């Protein structure tokens, strides 16, 4: 392998030359030096493909054209536009960062990548990308695509996730920075190489400008780099999701500010099912009502959870319906319970399996204040102090779809409309 110093100018020249001829130039967030638009696109592109991001980016910029409009918006508005894009903590950080920029930096983005990296939700690589694209700063990026390019070109037999290896990758990325080359083109070129040529599987080496100096290519071991991390089996978590509807409206609750789907709207859920219930769910292949409900085991467990955790006393004659509804309310009209398909979703550290309990209620019009307090959403709110200050809304399906809701919940609602 050539000495790194002799590769530096050659590496940057090849990347920039290729980007100008064959790189991507018509992405919705390109051809601008506006740090706000660059920042929004970089956050959205984290762990998300360009084709998925593009319509979200365009809607987001139309609604929030600058950092001031984003800072003045409510978190609900931001989450609603983000709904379906995934990794929702990004939206919360985006909103918090906009407020910080307006309140602390008078609405102007810092130009120094080190200062940018101190803002909420902006890491070292994202800060460098913003600085390079918006301010032509000489700053190194190191996202997953760039790691793959560097690992192959220099045959780095390193675990890209370990702290020690990351220092090596960062040192290499910084040593390769060009002295007098167009930084936006160089930065975009590295991103484009990883996204269009140096693919994780079946890299298109014949189109890569670095094939002549790529150590992995010369050894015929392109797909051996970067070193693959050992696959881990994600542990399972079991919840119970509860769909409460009168045929026209559905009960939606705001989730806590921390944890899964933080601050988003979702269906009510029980997130600590007893072992006996989990066993009943996992051992049964049935998707019908009979599996967990015929022996009343699940309703009994739900009643116990609400009594012990939330100190809510429920009438024993109707507790199965009322506890399923997460309510301390009168459901004297007809109640129908139905066990539906599991809601399943993989997160970074676990896989969620959540049986869906549909609760169909027929309600009579409520006139006086005391009775209105027993409406599902109001009854839920009355107990909010005991369940994490969650808010609730009793909405039509089309109204619920306008909220900031997780993709899995959105699909359930859309399928029901």
Residues recognised as catalytic: 42
Cβ neighbour number for residue 71 with a 10 Å cutoff: 18
- Contact at 8 Å (CB) between 102 and 67? yes
Cα separation, 292 vs 299, whole angstroms:
9
Instruction: Indicate the pairing of strand 351-361 with strand 240-245.
Output: parallel
Q: What is the 3-state secondary structure (H, E, C) of 331-391?
A: CCCCEEEEEEEEEEEECCCCEEEEEEEEEEECCCCCCCHHHHCCCHHHHHHHCHHHCCCCC
Judge residue 116's burial from the number of C-beta atoms within 10 Å of its C-beta, 0-12 exposed, 13-18 middle, 19 or more buried. buried
Tokens 């762990």 correspond to: 47
Cα of 307 vs its chain's centroid, Å: 33
Judge residue 325's burial from the number of C-beta atoms within 10 Å of its C-beta, 0-12 exposed, 13-18 middle, 19 or more buried. buried
Cα separation, 154 vs 215, whole angstroms:
6
Question: Which DSSP symbol is given to 74?
Answer: -
- Contact at 8 Å (CB) between 165 and 158? yes
Nearest Cα residue to 405 out of 246, 225, 255: 255
Name the token pair of 82.
Answer: 């983000």
Cα separation, 125 vs 129, whole angstroms:
6
Nearest Cα residue to 352 out of 274, 271, 295: 271
Cα separation, 137 vs 128, whole angstroms:
8
């Amino acid at each position: 392998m050539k000495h790194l110093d002799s590769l530096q100018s050659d590496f940057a020249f090849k990347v920039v030359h290729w980007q100008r001829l064959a790189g991507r130039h018509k992405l919705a967030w390109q051809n601008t030096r506006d740090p706000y638009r660059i920042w929004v696109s970089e956050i959205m592109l984290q762990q998300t493909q360009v084709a998925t991001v593009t319509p979200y980016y365009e809607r987001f910029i139309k609604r929030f054209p600058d950092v001031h409009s984003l800072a003045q918006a409510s978190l609900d508005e931001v989450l609603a536009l983000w709904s379906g894009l995934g990794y929702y903590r990004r939206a919360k950080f985006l909103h918090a960062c906009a407020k910080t920029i307006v309140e602390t930096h008078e609405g102007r983005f810092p130009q120094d990548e080190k200062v940018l990296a101190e803002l909420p939700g902006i890491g070292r690589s994202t800060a460098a990308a913003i600085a390079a694209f918006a301010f032509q700063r000489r700053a190194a990026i190191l996202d997953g695509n760039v790691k793959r390019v560097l690992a192959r070109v220099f045959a780095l037999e390193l675990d890209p996730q370990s702290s020690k290896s990351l220092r090596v990758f960062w040192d290499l990325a910084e040593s390769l920075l060009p002295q007098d080359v167009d930084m936006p083109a160089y930065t975009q070129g590295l991103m484009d190489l990883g996204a269009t040529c140096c693919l994780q599987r079946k890299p298109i080496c014949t189109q890569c400008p670095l094939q002549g100096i790529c150590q992995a290519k010369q050894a015929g071991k392109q797909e051996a780099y970067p070193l693959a991390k050992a696959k881990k089996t994600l542990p399972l978590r079991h919840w119970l999701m509860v769909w409460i509807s009168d045929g026209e409206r559905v009960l939606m609750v705001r989730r806590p500010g921390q944890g899964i789907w933080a601050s988003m709207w979702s269906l009510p859920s029980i997130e600590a099912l007893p072992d006996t219930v989990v066993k009943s769910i996992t051992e049964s292949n049935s998707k019908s009502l009979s599996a967990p409900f015929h022996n009343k085991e699940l309703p009994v467990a739900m009643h116990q959870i609400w009594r012990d955790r939330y100190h809510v006393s429920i009438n024993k004659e109707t507790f199965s319906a009322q506890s399923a509804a997460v309510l301390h309310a009168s459901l004297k009209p007809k109640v129908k319970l139905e066990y539906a398909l599991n809601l399943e979703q993989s997160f970074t550290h676990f896989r969620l399996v959540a049986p869906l309990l549909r609760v169909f209620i027929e309600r009579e019009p409520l006139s006086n204040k005391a009775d209105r307090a027993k409406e599902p959403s109001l009854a839920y709110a009355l107990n909010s102090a005991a369940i994490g200050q969650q808010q609730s809304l009793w909405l039509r399906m089309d109204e619920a779809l306008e909220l900031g809701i997780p993709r899995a919940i959105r699909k359930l609602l859309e399928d029901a409309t």
